[in-house]
Amino acid sequence: MSTVMLFGIGDLGGWVLEFIARSEGISNIIACDIRDDFPRMKTECVAIGAGQQGYTKTIKFEKCDVNDIDATAELLKKYHPDVIYSALTLLGWMEMRVIPRAVGPDYHKAAACLVPLNVPLIAKLMQAREKASITAPAINNSYPDVVNPVLWRNGLGPLVGGGNIDLIVGETRRKVSVAENIPMRDVIVYLVGCHAVAAQGAHIPHFFKVMVGDRDVTDKYPFDALMSDSLIGATPPEWTTLLNEPNVAASAVRNITAIVNNTRELAHAPGPNGLPGGYPIRIGAGGVEVALPEELTLEQAIEINLAGLKLEGTEEIKADGTVVLTEEACNIQKKLYGVSLREFKFADMEEIGKDLRAIAKKLIAKYS
């Protein structure tokens, strides 16, 4: 049986905690957060609920500030986890949901501007893992399409991400299973594409293939039609925690349990092994492998993702992890945040992230 440590018990992390407490193959769960109010209470509620359903896991809360790398390393050594999960960010997605009202639909073309909000804390957690000599794989749920490549290029890479492209795959499998009157497990999807596909639609570069058994039924289910007729659809910010976040959490938990139980199942995820964007993968105790259909090469898949990331504001991710913004993203950044930064160097991201957080907080107060 395995130990899983979760860092960041907010909205998304709270759902991950709920689901992992009811998953097989895991005996110990350690929930960690800088706060000592909601996360501790959430942990107790999860433990009670899972216990009511007959689960006998050990579920604990530990107050932890990952900014203190030494203390975080000691905590990791104390529990020696088999898997580490992170939903750490300087500003939660639930808070950010109101900001698009400030600029309209163009907001999604500048998602890369938020990279400095999502790099610093997971980077410190990875530094603590290294300091503790812990080899447990890590799953990052904070914009892994770009954040994971940045971290890998600085020797701090999580194994894989969760959500994003996988949310499209899950909904596609549901639609096809209903139309074909078969279980979701009998629908096989291959989708290559970055977060922008989910955020902006089918015009973003992608590769798509869907199989039912050994039958290729892609022509029967055009991707643009699937994307334009979403089962969930656009939701107001206040619905996100109930409708969207559980699916993101389910994606991450599937990756955690696949590692713990060594299922090597076919899945989809962003940022596998530090690659940009999202890919079909096989995931198990031995790690992650990109699992492309025979008609697509890895080089082609990477190019598809890089083209998509440009439409979300990432012009380039340099060898040292520096993120270069597109001109359009820079213009939106200037309009929305009042700053003009074409590049985010890894060493500067914490300072930039704190400044962006302060600006974003004012926008949230204005538009919420």
How crowded is the C-beta side of 131, counted as CA atoms within 13 Å?
16
Annotate 228-273 with DSSP letters as a single string: HS-SS----GGGHHHHTHHHHHHHHHHHHHHHHTT--EEEEEESGG
The Cα–Cα gap between 56 and 50 comes to 8
Q: What is the CATH number of the domain that holds 205?
A: 3.90.110.10
Question: Which two structure tokens, joined as six digits, stand for 74?
Answer: 């000691």
The Cα–Cα gap between 210 and 218 comes to 5
The Cα–Cα gap between 88 and 210 comes to 33
Residue 160 gets which letter from DSSP?
B
Residue 185 gets which letter from DSSP?
G
The Cα–Cα gap between 65 and 71 comes to 8
pLDDT tens string 175-200: 999 999 999 999 999 999 999 998 89
2 closest CA partner among 188, 174, 258, 190: 258
Percent of the chain as helix, strand, coil, to the nearest 5: 50, 20, 30
pLDDT tens string 217-259: 999 999 999 998 777 666 676 777 788 899 999 999 999 999 9
325 closest CA partner among 314, 338, 336: 314
The Cα–Cα gap between 16 and 245 comes to 9
Tell me, yes or no, whether 6 lies in a domain.
no
Tell me, yes or no, whether 294 lies in a domain.
yes
Tell me, yes or no, whether 258 lies in a domain.
yes
Tell me, yes or no, whether 106 lies in a domain.
no
Tell me, yes or no, whether 223 lies in a domain.
yes
* Positions of E strands within the chain: 2-7, 26-33, 58-63, 83-86, 138-140, 187-192, 207-212, 215-216, 265-270, 278-284, 287-290, 314-317, 323-325, 343-344
Q: Is 111 helix (H, G, I), strand (E, B) or coil?
A: helix
The Cα–Cα gap between 33 and 40 comes to 8
pLDDT given for residue 240 in this prediction: 74
Tell me if 2 sits within 8 A of 26, measured CB to CB: yes
- Where does the pLDDT of residue 306 fall: very low under 50, low under 70, confident under 90, or very high at 90 and above? very high
pLDDT given for residue 341 in this prediction: 94
pLDDT tens string 106-160: 788 999 999 999 999 999 999 999 999 999 999 999 999 999 999 999 999 999 9
- Where does the pLDDT of residue 94 fall: very low under 50, low under 70, confident under 90, or very high at 90 and above? confident
The Cα–Cα gap between 226 and 23 comes to 30
Q: What's the average model confidence in pLDDT over 360-368?
A: 85
Q: What's the average model confidence in pLDDT over 35-40?
A: 96
Q: Is the pLDDT at 172 greater than 90, yes or no?
A: yes
Tell me, yes or no, whether 324 lies in a domain.
no
Q: What is the residue range of 205's domain? A: 165-309
The Cα–Cα gap between 157 and 159 comes to 6
- Where does the pLDDT of residue 173 fall: very low under 50, low under 70, confident under 90, or very high at 90 and above? very high
User: Who wins on pLDDT, 95 or 143?
Assistant: 143
Tell me, yes or no, whether 122 lies in a domain.
no
Q: Is the pLDDT at 354 greater than 80, yes or no?
A: yes
Task: List residues bridging with 188 in a β-sheet.
Answer: 211
Q: Is the pLDDT at 216 greater than 90, yes or no?
A: yes
Question: Which two structure tokens, joined as six digits, stand for 210?
Answer: 């869907």
pLDDT tens string 81-90: 999 999 999 9
Tell me, yes or no, whether 160 lies in a domain.
no
β-strand 58-63 against 26-33: which pairing, if any? parallel
pLDDT given for residue 93 in this prediction: 78
- Where does the pLDDT of residue 324 fall: very low under 50, low under 70, confident under 90, or very high at 90 and above? very high
Mean pLDDT score of the chain: 94
The Cα–Cα gap between 242 and 248 comes to 11
For the chain, the domain total comes to 1
pLDDT tens string 252-279: 999 999 999 999 999 999 999 999 999 9
